[in-house]
Structure 1
């Protein structure tokens, strides 16, 4: 009887009898020998083979992820600038759409006006905070000096009983440490100078990208999706629309949460007579963009300023204000607003923020939650779970092949319904969708871009 032919992985083909496994007895094989009729792979337990297959694939994915993170870290100035520009784009898109559709501004003028309005708001906050710092820092310095003198008097007259000579020796040791570490201070100043240069370059890149994302975001998105194989373009396009909706919801909700935190802590500081109330409120507003951790860290700065300026009683009251604001954020704003916007559990948010801060410091903590929220939406859609079924798939885009970018026509075919009304922020980077306030666009007739 001939041995039946075997198919993939040694399984018998349909209609052929299976070969029974050889019956082995103790002593039939020497130690380390392979049973007759078995391959070396069959002699390994299936669980071990499965674990090995998972292991090398996991190691390969980890190596690719590490390489990608290294590339991102090397180009961090550009990557961070583009990420901030994307956040600003989803924030300013309604403004640009209003100027273009309602006030009949040309698209370029509406985009540049939106960017200029953002610069005006930021500049106004900086000027307001700067004046408050300039007027209140002198008083705060005097109060801090008086507090240091009181602390030295307590060290001398209190239970420690330090003599004046001992205190002078401690002060002199501090001065000697500063003198010995002068070179480190100089190198630190040079590092700060380099950082300031990077910040300036990043700010220019951010403004430049924000303007062109507002002006021509849909064309840029179309070109990027056109780099992919034709069979996956539609799914990637629809996933990208939903990712933009999630990013837009996160950005607007986080601004609202940060405004509530800053207003509550700033008003509390002003009522208690804590100096630098406006700069403290501005600091809390910026810090609140790091969920859970940011407002607590910046609120502790307000408590420290109250302790230095007004004493322990006012500091305790300021701490109560910070905790009250945090309770409102944690039990009202985060569950109802942020939870709906990002669909992430608070434990997941905390772990993502911690991982982002460990990987990339403050920048990682800032971008960890929006990145996780967008990835969650995109991955769920690609696996069949649509978080935004109301968007549908009516925003079809006939994509040109990569490289055909110079001609502006041919981005879509017919009327783009999702963008025609101006209510869908997911039709690419440019939430308005179709060019014009609801006009139709003619484009290529086929998926290859041929007219």
Structure 2
């Protein structure tokens, strides 16, 4: 059936429906919506003071600002579902409760769904560690015999056995260092739990007062044309939701690709354990794609370590596979997905990640891209609805938009500025009207 495509289809086809919105001068009812002119004194005094104030607030707030920012991102992610339930005539408070309960239920279901296969494969891997270490020790012994036969004075067996024994103790039995740091780990877990609880509480309050917050934001920002595509709060919400959707699809795609690749390596005999642990390795790889910078390396590390202690040549093949997977990720998957969701220059993406990581560490880098998406939408919106008064002699009235069209009082035809007679009927035009409109 022919017809216009839906918004989602347009986005995934490489077309942004927001790019088709009418210019800000044309309102939803056809009336003129002039741009807001920023006077020169505000440019000279107000904007620099605003930048300094924002910097001082961010520097003073510290972790508090981070908690509110994370809560705001969470609220923006969940608000579309709350609004959907509201349109089904549910009270907003009840809709918020249902959304949070549904979110907890979905996360619990996914956890139960993944827990058994991942736990089984992880347990099997832990049971196989002693045999893996024994195989590696045998290979080291063969290598040591080769060096001894050739008269090469290199001792690799003792050093290799020590390293492998340490690895086995870490994986299977643990060490006393883990026990010593148990209290610190517990303290960190409690702190993280309290931080998570604070974020949840803040996000709930933001959702409760979401409509009021949206009205306040609309009153502060320049007015739009009355359509959803030109509504600033909705644009921000769409930007964050699009990024989250793209990130989830991206992690699923990369995790599935890694798991299938390792399964093929196992089925062909190149890396036998790849078939056994394909699901666990793939799930881990997809999860690590959420981690900025070092995520791909951390995702590939478990499979590379297992392959290395079995056969260095197998580790080389896996290294080539993960390198090719990263090239596919960087040149095909990521541009296709994030090109339709984030819509930010790659250099700005890198800058946002570095700035977020420098300011707030891992969590700062994790939320830097949603914030960058919100800033992009803010800049685009302001460019469409604001104009800076130049520092020349141009009239401010000329910046606010084109002057209203004059009409002949006799025939109603449009009359150009400066005309003293109507070009259609020849009726004279009042000089005072021309002067007032000029």
TM-score range, shorter chain: 0.5 to 0.7
Within 5 Å, which residues of 2 pair with 1:372-391? Answer: 372-384=372-384
Q: What's the TM-score once normalised by structure 2's chain length?
A: 0.58
What is the rounded CA distance, in whole Å, between the counterparts of 2:190 and 2:338 in structure 1?
35
Alpha carbons 2:304, 2:318 under 8 Å: kept = no
- State the Cα distance separating 1:260 from its structure 2 match: 1.2
What is the rounded CA distance, in whole Å, between the counterparts of 2:158 and 2:314 in structure 1?
34
- State the Cα distance separating 1:200 from its structure 2 match: 1.5
Describe the superposition over 1:82-125 as per-residue Cα deviations: whole angstroms up to 9, x where unpaired. 444433434334433444435x5443333222222221222233
What is the rounded CA distance, in whole Å, between the counterparts of 1:305 and 1:127 in structure 2?
27
What is the CA RMSD across the aligned residues, in angstroms? Answer: 4.3
What is the rounded CA distance, in whole Å, between the counterparts of 1:312 and 1:127 in structure 2?
36
1:126 corresponds, among 111, 117, 136, to 111
| Partner of residue 243, structure 2 | 250
| Partner of residue 264, structure 1 | 257
What is the rounded CA distance, in whole Å, between the counterparts of 1:323 and 1:142 in structure 2?
29
Distance 1:312 1:106, change over 3 A: farther
- State the Cα distance separating 1:186 from its structure 2 match: 6.2
| Partner of residue 124, structure 2 | 139
What is the rounded CA distance, in whole Å, between the counterparts of 1:297 and 1:358 in structure 2?
20
- In the alignment, structure 1 segments of 5+ residues that lack a partner are 1-53, 175-181, 387-451
- State the Cα distance separating 1:263 from its structure 2 match: 1.9
| Partner of residue 157, structure 1 | 145
- State the Cα distance separating 1:161 from its structure 2 match: 4.6
More helix, by proportion: 2
| Partner of residue 301, structure 1 | 301
Alpha carbons 1:143, 1:308 under 8 Å: kept = no
Alpha carbons 1:287, 1:295 under 8 Å: kept = yes
Count matched residues. 314
- State the Cα distance separating 1:310 from its structure 2 match: 6.2
- Indicate whether 1:71 and 2:57 are aligned: no
Distance 1:145 1:290, change over 3 A: same
- Indicate whether 1:339 and 2:339 are aligned: yes
Describe the superposition over 1:396-432 as per-residue Cα deviations: whole angstroms up to 9, x where unpaired. xxxxxxxxxxxxxxxxxxxxxxxxxxxxxxxxxxxxx
- In the alignment, structure 2 segments of 5+ residues that lack a partner are 1-43, 148-152, 168-174, 225-229, 267-273, 387-438
2:75 corresponds, among 62, 81, 89, to 89
- Indicate whether 1:206 and 2:199 are aligned: yes
Q: What's the TM-score once normalised by structure 1's chain length?
A: 0.56
1:115 corresponds, among 88, 100, 103, to 100
- State the Cα distance separating 1:219 from its structure 2 match: 2.0
- State the Cα distance separating 1:346 from its structure 2 match: 1.6
Describe the superposition over 1:54-93 as per-residue Cα deviations: whole angstroms up to 9, x where unpaired. 9xx999967973x4444343437xx34x444433434334
Q: Which of 276-285 and 251-260 deviates more?
A: 276-285
Alpha carbons 2:77, 2:237 under 8 Å: kept = no
Bigger RCO of structures 1 and 2 (CA < 8 A, at least 6 apart): 2
Within 5 Å, which residues of 2 pair with 1:208-223? Answer: 208-222=201-215
Q: Which of 320-329 and 345-354 deviates more?
A: 320-329
What is the rounded CA distance, in whole Å, between the counterparts of 1:313 and 1:171 in structure 2?
18
Q: Which of 357-366 and 165-174 deviates more?
A: 165-174
